[in-house]
């Protein structure tokens, strides 16, 4: 996983508790920010899917290059 994607993934993971806890006071939010929670979950899923897609494409290129040398 690229370092940029890793940084964004960390921000998404940190966003999940912010949806339920007020950062200024530390108290639980009475109505939690559900859209923020689901946006963070969706962002995590997209980052993981994109990263695996990108790694698969790189692996395919490496395999094709290795086969072409023989």
Tens digit of pLDDT for each residue in 15-34?
A: 999 999 998 888 999 899 99
Domain span at residue 40 reads 3-69
In the prediction, which pLDDT does 24 show? 87
- Residue 18 three-state SS: helix
Q: What is the pLDDT along the chain (70 residues), one digit of tens a residue?
A: 788 999 999 999 999 999 999 988 889 998 999 999 999 999 999 999 999 999 999 999 999 888 887 6
Neighbours of 44 (CB within 10 A): 16
For the four alpha carbons of 28, 33, 38 and 44, in that order, the dihedral sign comes to negative
| Gyration radius (Cα) of the chain, Å | 19
Q: How many domains does the chain contain in total?
A: 1
């Amino acid at each position: 996983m690229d370092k940029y994607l890793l940084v964004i993934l960390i921000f998404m993971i940190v966003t999940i508790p912010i949806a339920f806890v007020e950062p200024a006071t530390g108290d639980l939010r009475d109505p939690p920010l559900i859209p923020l929670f689901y946006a963070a979950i969706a962002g995590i899923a997209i980052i993981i899917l994109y990263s695996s897609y990108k790694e698969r494409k790189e692996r395919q290129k490496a395999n094709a290059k290795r086969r072409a040398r023989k």
